[in-house]
Amino acid sequence: MEANLLFSGGKDSSLTAYILKTLGYEVKTITVTFGYSENWRLAKETSETLGYEHRVIKMDEKILREGCRIMMEDGYPLRGIKYIHKEVIENLAKDYK
């Protein structure tokens, strides 16, 4: 069975990938970027070093802008970050049935 994992390259997502692989899943990692920095490179390098297939997906910056607008409106980041996460997951889910 295949498991697609949102992957930052940090210890939490790396451990999650390892656990999934140990449980018998074919792990494929995905890193999302909005194109403002190249921080995805570390995630890609880490994923490949650990032996996982990796994809980098550039999301529409409108999602980021709306998330930031929500954060500014609220005065704290929680709802804006949830909005960004929801939009990213919904966008990625379109590729799977």
Q: Give me the DSSP letters along 36-89.
A: S--THHHHHHHHHHTT-EEEEEEPPHHHHHHHHHHHHHHTSSHHHHHHHHHHHH
What is the pTM for the complete model shown? Answer: 0.84
Digits of tens for pLDDT over the chain (97 positions)?
A: 999 999 999 999 999 999 999 999 999 999 999 998 898 999 999 999 999 999 999 999 999 999 999 999 999 999 999 999 999 999 999 887 6
Domains of the chain: which residue ranges? Answer: 1-58, 60-97
The fold of the 1-58 domain, in CATH, is: Rossmann fold (3.40.50)
pLDDT of 37: 87
What does the CA dihedral 89, 91, 93, 97 come to, rounded to 10 degrees? 170
C-alpha to C-alpha distance for 52 and 65, rounded to whole angstroms: 31
pLDDT of 36: 87
